[in-house]
Chain A
């Protein structure tokens, strides 16, 4: 199975390394041709303003919107979550979200870098395997999920704010599972594909 990693900017090599570990074949996606050849997509952390601009320059936005509408499985972390959300607060006014999952996020909602943190989060939900240990989440200038729409599965929370959500084929995390050695969240995504 070919899992694309959006490689415009950000932590895409770290995601690719984890995907290789869990048995997927990662492909770096920079063009519409790359996108048409993948069965699923990971959208990494990075700067959402930069990535959003590069999506337009690379003529990737429209093909991506179409693939998402046709059920392309996608996993977005941090900036990837911001790009996939249906509404963004504290972003740039020209930052157009892909609206693939019905959540509202506040950019850098946990604060600046000095407030970036690590925390153990309990992951669980219907149909999920029982995890006997929490997942160690790394939150870097992370977005806060302020609103979840109907039909959103909240798989993990920190202080009552969702940090891992799923709606159908779209999964988003406000933290960075690609920065730690725990492969369980990537496995969850790849198995669902």
Chain B
């Protein structure tokens, strides 16, 4: 019985982990202590990074992959999957993250892009990748490059949900329109979306993205989580929204409960009570840098 052939790094196992994270909350953490708080609160995974997006926004400068020592510390602190961010196009950072044994790599616009024209060829890796998208064309280009999970980008570090809603509505709206298109129109859709025809045809047939779609960027309250889940997100990423709030642990748990019970306003009302102040929010028009504009 020792001759069973195991295939690793396949699309099925890469997309499969994203399936297991559905209906959950992935939380940004910057050290093992925060990682433990996130796991205690019911996070399905943690995203290890050096600074949460609101601090990256405030401090400026070049944001890069985290120190491997910090990532190792977080891996040792929790039993849930650990994700980490690489710069857009920075395949060397991704290679290091794969060697460190992280469970998902986020090729992320929150970090400073390393390549102005090319995203990472994600087919070349055994570790799965998640990528952000503001619209369906961007999502399909990332999938064609090998991404196994898409997150709508929103505008990270703002605590403002408006961009996440815009991106989700754009993606879900176009998916709905493609399912109503006839076969001749799909060629035009592929051209307009600048995306592979085969992926457009797949959406027309199934009515959904070929990979799971989560939501990120601006989620600060349980109600925000419910909103984006009702708009079609299958899980949420919360960055600054937890550890930049007054009282992170109860807020983290409340967002977890809200994500499970996103259609039940009575439970949402119950979990939203007495959480203290949410993170301070930012108006999109006042931003110097729009992170969502990074990536192509």
Asked whether A117 lies within 8 Å of B80 as measured between CB atoms, the reply is no
**Does A39 sit within 8 A of B, measured CB to CB?**
no
Which residues of B from 1 to 60 have beta carbons under 8 Å from A? 1-2, 4-10, 12-13, 16-17, 19-24, 39, 42-45
Q: Could you say which residues of chain B place their CB within 8 Å of the CB of A180? A: 12
Partner of A49, one of B4, B16, B39: B39
Stretch at the interface among A5-13, A125-133, A145-153, A183-191: A5-13
Minimum CB–CB distance for A58 against chain B, Å: 8
Q: Could you say which residues of chain A place their CB within 8 Å of the CB of B103? A: 112-114, 141
**Dominant secondary structure of chain B at its interface with chain A:** loop
Residue of A nearest to B234 (CB): A13
**Does B241 sit within 8 A of A, measured CB to CB?**
no
**Does B72 sit within 8 A of A, measured CB to CB?**
no
Annotate B89-106 by CB proximity to A: 1 below 8 A, 0 otherwise: 000000000100101100
- Please measure, in the bound complex, the distance between the C-alpha atom of A33 and the C-alpha atom of B4, giving whole angstroms: 44
| Max count, chain B CB within 10 A of own CB: residue among A107, A113, A116 | A113
**Does A103 sit within 8 A of B, measured CB to CB?**
no
Stretch at the interface among A19-27, A68-76, A156-164: A156-164
Asked whether A176 lies within 8 Å of B5 as measured between CB atoms, the reply is no
Asked whether A50 lies within 8 Å of B256 as measured between CB atoms, the reply is yes
**Does B126 sit within 8 A of A, measured CB to CB?**
yes
Residue of A nearest to B264 (CB): A30
Provide 9 A-B residue pairs closer than 8 Å at the C-beta atoms, listed in order of the A residue: A7-B260, A9-B24, A46-B20, A49-B42, A113-B104, A115-B8, A119-B6, A139-B13, A179-B16
- On B, residues with C-beta under 8 Å from A are 1-2, 4-10, 12-13, 16-17, 19-24, 39, 42-45, 79-81, 98, 101, 103-104, 126-128, 256-257, 259-261
The 7 closest A-B pairs by CB, nearest first: A113-B103, A117-B6, A116-B13, A9-B23, A47-B44, A53-B42, A50-B42
